Structure 1
Amino acid sequence: MTVLASRLDTAGPDYAANRAAMLDRLAEVEAAHGQAVAGGGEKYAARHRARGKLLPRERVELLLDPDTPFLELSPLAAWGTEYPVGASLVTGIGTVSGVTCLISANDPTVRGGASNPWTLRKALRAHEIARADRLPVISLVESGGADLTGQKEIFVPGGALFRDLTRLSAAGIPTVAVVFGNSTAGGAYVPGMSDHVVMVKERAKVFLGGPPLVRMATGEEADDESLGGADMHARVSGLADHFAVDEYDALRQARRIVARLHHPPAPAAPWPSEPPRYDQDELLGIVPGDLRVPFDPLEVVARVVDGSDFDAFKPLYGAGLTVGWARLHGRPVGILANAQGVLFSAESQKAAQFIQLANQRDIPLVFLHNTTGYMVGRAYERGGIIKHGAMMINAVANSRVPHLSVLLGASYGAGHYGMCGRAYDPRFLFTWPSARAAVMGPKQLAGVLSIVARASAAEKGLPYDEEADAGLREAVERQVEAESLPLFLSGRLYDDGVIDPRDTRTVLGLCLDAVYGAPVEGVRGGFGVFRM
C-alpha cells in the first residue's frame, strides 16, 4: 500500500504550540485581508452604495456561477507601502457560464478606482496568468485611469496593460470588458482593446479626456453623457457592443457572452477525486513556530493529496528531498517537498531526474518549500554541489509542465530558485503564514556581515568595536526578519497570496483547473547542458 501513515501526535505539546503559533499568524493575515476588503473605507463605500452601485466583490459574486469558488489573487498587494492594501483592484479565478475565467474588478471606493504602481503590477500579474493558462479575461471596469500623483511610476510601464489585452486577443484568448462607471484616459483603453464590451446605461462614461480636459485642450464645452456615455457609445461611436439597463443586466449579459464564446473548458479530471484520509485542520499544527526545527513534509502531503496516496521516488536516496507521484482532485501531480531543509548533491540530482520524468509524462509539478538552500563547506564544494545544484535549477528553469509552488517554511538562498521560486515562473505561488523567504536566515546573514567586518578591521590593523557589532547584528536581524515575512512578500507580489494551510488542497485544485485551460505538455530533451 502507498497510503501514507501519519505519525502526527495531535495530542502532544509540540502540535499545540505549532497550532497556536500558526493561528496567531493567520490572525495577522486576516486583519490585512480585512483592510483589502474594506477598500476606501466605510465613508466611500457608503457613498458608492448611495449612488445605487455594487461594490467590486459583489459584482464578482454575481458574475460567477452560483455556489462556485473564487480564488482571489494578490489580495495583499501594496501591504506595507504608502498605498492601500489590495491596490484598488480585485483579481482572481472563477467559473462563469461553466468556463474558468480570469476576473479583474476595479475598486472605485479607493480614489475612484485610479491605478497606482501596485495596481499596475497586480493587473499585469493577472494577465500573465491568463496568458499562460489561456483563461478568458473579464474586466469589471470603473477607473479614473492613472493616479496622477504617481504618474512617473505608472505611465511608461502602464502601456503593457493594453499591450497584453491585444496579445491575449491575438492568441485567441477572449477578453470582455463590463463598464460600470467612469473609464477615463488609460482606463478607456481597457474597453477599447477588449473583444466584447458591455456598458451600463447612464452609469458608464468612457472617454480619453473628460470634460475638464477637453475644455483645457480645445475650449469645447461637453457634458459626460454626450462625450462618452453608454447611450452615445452604443448608438454613435459603436464602442459598446451591448447596452445594459443596470449593473445586474450588465453582469447577466457578460455571462451570456462567455456562454457563447465556445472557449473550451478545462478537460475533466481523469480520475474521481477522493478526500485525504486525515483531517485538513491538522495542517495548522505541523510547521513549528521556529523554522530551525525540522518537520516531516509527508504529514502535509498526506492531508492534501487524494486518498493520502503517495508513490515515493528514490525514497532511500537524497532523503532530504521527498519526491513522488500522487493525484490531487483527480489529476496526476508530481510533488517535491523539502524534508530536512538542506539540499545536498544527492537531493539535487534526484530532483533533476524527477523533473525530467514529469516532463516525459506531461504531469504538473507541485513544490512544497522548506529549504535553507544548498549545502556549503569544503567537502561539499569538492563533491560538486555547485554543478549538482545547477543541474536541479537547470531542470526547473527549462521544464515546461505547469509548476505550482507553496512556501510552507523556510525558502532561503538558491534553494528558493531550485524549488521554483517566483523568478522561475511557477504558474502559481502561494505562501503559508509560517513561511519565510530571503537570501538566508536573519542570524546567518547578520553573522556573515559581522565576520566580514571583523576581517576588514583586522586587515587594516584596527581595533574592532564589539558594542557596535552587537548593535549592527541586531539591526540586520530585525530588518531581514521583517523583509522575509509573508505579508511583506505578498505586498510586493512575490506570491499570489498568503493562504490558510487548511485551504491548501482547495487552492491547488483550483490552480490545476486553471492550468489545464492550456495544453499540459512537457519538454522533450530541451534541458540544456547538464554538468556531470
Structure 2
Amino acid sequence: MALIDNTIAPSGAAFQANRAGMLALIDRMRSLEERARAASAAAKERFHKRSQLLPRERVALLLDPDTPFIELSTLAGYMFDVPDADKSIPGCGLIAGIGFVSGVRCMVSASDSGIDAGALQPMGLDKQLRVQELALENKLPLVQLVESAGANLLRYRVEDFVRGGNIFRNLARLSAAGLPVVTVTHGSSTAGGAYQTGLSDYIVMVRGRTRAFLAGPPLLKAATGEIATEEELGGAEMHTSISGLGDYLAGDDRDALRIARDIMAGLAWDRPSRDGDTVFVPPRYDPEELLGIMPMDHKRPVDMRQAIARFVDGSDFIEFGADYGPATVCGHAKIEGHPVGIITNNGPLDPAGANKATHFIQACCQSRTPLLYLNNTTGYMVGRAYEEAGMIKHGSKMIQAVTSATVPQITLYCGASFGAGNYGMCGRGFHPRFCFSWPNAKTAVMGGEQAAETMAIVTEAAAARKGKPVEREQLDKMKAKITAVFDGQMDVFATSARVLDDGVIDPRDTRAVLAEVLAICREAERRNPQPMQFSVARP
C-alpha cells in the first residue's frame, strides 16, 4: 500500500477556520438530536406511572450492551412538523437503526411514543420505508417496538395513505425473503397500523397495555352501534388466547423485551463474522483533523486524499490512474480490514475523470470490491471544449456504470454534490446501499448564485426579444429570492430532514460508521436466507 503524505497544517488559519465552522455545525446537529430526546423524555413521569418504559429505554434494553448502534435519519422531518426552526422536533416520531440483539445484527424500529403518542410525523412514512428498504437490501431481521396513535389526521394527505401501503407490503416481503420480523406491541396498534403488528412473524404483547384493533371503541360505535371496551376489542389477553394474533404474553415492557431477545437468540440465524483482515492498523494521521480539512465554502479547493488518509487503515491508499483525469481520485484502501474502492473529487468531473471512474467501477465489480463515493463536486464540466470532448457521452457512461454496479455502493456527502455530478457520484437517486452526510454537505442542481444568474440572463434575453427594458430592481429581487430558495434547500439540515440521506455523522465518526456498514454489506453478500413464495401467515 502507499502512504498518503500529510499536507495538513493544523495550526494554520484556514484549518482553524474550517474546524470552528465544522464544530458549530456538529453542535447544531447534536442540539437538534437532543431536542427530540428531551421531548420524548418529558413524558417519563407519565410512562413510569403506568409501569411503562420510555421508547429509548426500550431500545437500550433490547440491544446488546456495549455494541455498535447506527441510528438512522435523526434529522428526518426537521421543519416539516412546524415551520419554526426553534420549535421543530426532528426524527419523525420514529427511532431507527442497526444494532445487535442477542448477537444478531438487526434493523430496529421503535415508535417514539413519548412524542405525540407515537403518531407518525411528516416525512415519517419516508423514514419508515427507508428503514424497511435497508433491512431488505442488507438481509437483516427487523425488530419493531410498536406503540403508535397512527397517522396524524390533521395532516392527512391521500398520497400518504396510498403510499403507506408500502409499509405493509414490505413487511410481507421481509417475511417471504426469509428475514424474520419480530414485533413487540407495547401499546396502541390501531386501524391500518394494526397490520404492522399482524404482518409480523413473531408478536409479543404486553398485558394491560397492548391495544390492536381495526376500529377503536368510538369508531366501532359510530360505524356499527356496537359498544365494547378497548380490552375486549384488542387487549393482549384476548389476542394471545382467542384471536391468535399474539404469540407471547408479557407481564410488562421489560418482560416483553426479554422475550424478544429470547426469540432472536433462539432463531437459527446467521451470526456476523469478519471476512476482512482480523488485524488492522489505525490511520497514521489523527481523525480529529477531519474537522479542519473541509472548507465551509464549497468553492474553495480541498485535496480529498487528506480526508481519506484520516479514516483508512494505516493511511494507505493505492491510487488508480493518478495522472489521468487527476481531479477525479480513485483508489483502493481498507477500513478496519474491509477492502473498499474509493472514488472522490478534487474538482469538477471532466471527460478523462468520468472515463477513469467508469473503468474503476467496472474493475471493482470484477473483483467484488465494495465502492465508496466521497461527494465533493460542483458537477460535470461545461463549455465548448468539453462538449467537443464528449462530456455528455462520457458522463453517461459513468452514470451507467454506477447504475449497473454489482457490488454494494456507499455514498458519503463530504462537500458539494451538485448537478449531474450528484448522479455520477451515486447520489441518493441511484440507490446506494447506505448514504450519509457530513454536517457541511450541500446538495442541489447548482449553487444558488449560479441559479440566480442563469435566470437573470434568461429574463434579460426574453425582455430583449420583446423589445422591453429590464427593471434592475425587479431583477435584483428575483435573483435574491432564487438564491435564498436554493441556499435554503441545499443545506444538509434541509436535505436530511427530507430523508435524502440516512443521517448526518460527525466526520470523526466516519471510520467507525463506514467499518460497520461495510461489515453489514459483507455479511449480506455471504448470507443466504431461504426465500419463500409467501410470507408467514397467522393461524
TM range, smaller chain: over 0.9
8 Å CA contact 1:280, 1:502 repeated in 2: yes
1:23 corresponds to: 23
Task: Give the equivalent residue in structure 2 for 1:295.
Answer: 302
Residue pair 1:145, 1:183 contacting (<8 A) in 2 also: yes
* Equivalent residue in structure 1 for 2:293, among 286, 291, 304: 286
Match of 1:55 in 2: 54
Residue 195 in 1 paired to residue 201 in 2?
A: yes
User: 1:324: which partner in 2?
Assistant: 331
Q: What corresponds to 1:401 in structure 2?
A: 407
Tell me the equivalent position of 2:537.
none
Corresponding residue to 1:310 among 304, 311, 317: 317
- Which residue of the partner structure matches residue 363 of structure 1? 369
**1:115 equivalenced with 2:114 (yes/no):** no
Paired residue for 2:85?
A: none
Q: Please identify, of 278-287 and 181-190, the stretch whose mean Cα deviation from structure 2 is larger.
A: 181-190
CA deviations on 1:119-174 (whole Å, 9 max, x unpaired) are 11111000000010000000000012222223324321111111110011011111
**Whole-Å separation in 2 of the counterparts to 1:50 and 1:4:** 58
Deviation at 1:47, TM superposition (A): 2.2
Query: Partner residue of 1:158?
Result: 164
CA contact under 8 A between 1:266 and 1:516: conserved in structure 2? no
Cα distance between partner residues in 2 of 1:184 and 1:333 = 45
Q: Which moved more, 1:45-54 or 1:503-512?
A: 45-54
Conserved 8 A contact 1:322-1:337: yes
Q: Sort the Cα spacing of 1:346 and 1:91 in 2 relative to 1 into closer, same or farther, 3 A.
A: same
- Pairs within 5 Å for 1:378-527: 378-519=384-525
Please list the CA deviations of residues 402-431 of structure 1 after superposition, one character each: whole Å capped at 9, or x if unmatched: 111111111000000000000000011111
Aligned partner of 1:213 among 212, 219, 222: 219
2:495 is aligned with what amino acid? L
Unaligned stretches of 5+ in structure 1?
522-532
Residue 358 of structure 2 aligns to which amino acid in structure 1? Answer: A
Residue identity in the other structure for 2:149? G
Instruction: Provide the secondary structure at the position in 2 that maps to 1:180.
Output: strand
Q: CA deviation at 1:218?
A: 2.1
* Whole-Å separation in 2 of the counterparts to 1:379 and 1:319: 18
Partner of residue 282, structure 2? 275
Q: Give the residue type in structure 2 aligned to 1:270.
A: G
**Which letter does structure 2 place at the counterpart of 1:215?**
K
1:530 match: none
The equivalences for 1:331-342 within 5 A come to: 331-339=338-346, 341-342=347-348
CA distance in 1 between counterparts of 2:393 and 2:465 reads 33
Q: Distance in 2 between matches of 1:225 and 1:181?
A: 11
Task: Measure, in 1, the Cα distance between the counterparts of 2:492 and 2:452.
Answer: 20
User: Is the contact between residue 441 and residue 492 of structure 2 (CA under 8 Å) also seen in structure 1?
Assistant: yes
* Other structure's SS at 1:356 match: helix
Query: 4+ residue runs of structure 1 moved beyond 4 angstroms?
Result: none
- What is residue 127 of structure 1 aligned with on the other side? 132
**Does 1:145 pair with 2:147?**
no
2:531 alignment partner in structure 1: none
* Distance of 1:102 and 1:228 partners within structure 2: 27
Partner of 2:98: 93
- Matches of residues 223-302 of structure 1 in structure 2 within 5 Å? 223-272=229-278, 273-302=280-309
**Mean CA deviation greater in 289-298 or 470-479:** 470-479
- Tell me, which stretches of 5 or more residues in structure 2 are unaligned? 83-88, 528-539
Whole-angstrom CA distance in 2 between matches of 1:444 and 1:494? 23
Alpha-carbon distance in structure 1 between the residues aligned to 2:397 and 2:240: 58
1:89 corresponds to which letter in structure 2? L
1:78 aligns with 2:83: no
Pairwise CA distance, 1:8: 0.5
Shift of 1:513: 2.2
What is the deviation of 1:45? 4.2
Matching residue's letter, 1:33:
E
The one-letter code matched in structure 2 to 1:38 is: A
Aligned to 1:528: none
Compute the displacement of 1:18 (Å).
Answer: 0.5
Q: Could you state the TM-score of these two structures normalised by the residue count of structure 2? A: 0.94
Work out the CA distance in 2 between the residues paired with 1:479 and 1:151. Answer: 26
**1:136 pairs with 2:141:** yes
Kindly provide the CA deviation profile for residues 356-387 of structure 1, in whole angstroms up to 9, marking residues without a partner as x. 01110111100001000000000110110000
Amino acid at match of 2:47: H
CA distance in 1, matches of 2:436, 2:182: 27
Query: CA offsets, 1:490-532, max 9 Å, x none?
Result: 00000111111111111111211222232279xxxxxxxxxxx
- Is the 8 Å Cα contact of residues 102 and 265 (structure 2) preserved in structure 1? yes
- The offset of 1:117, in angstroms, is 4.2
The code of the aligned residue for 1:323 comes to C
CA drift at 1:49: 3.1
Asked whether the 8 Å contact 1:91–1:103 carries over to 2, the reply is yes
CA distance in 2, matches of 1:45, 1:472: 49
Paired with 2:526 and 2:297, the residues of 1 have a C-alpha distance of 38
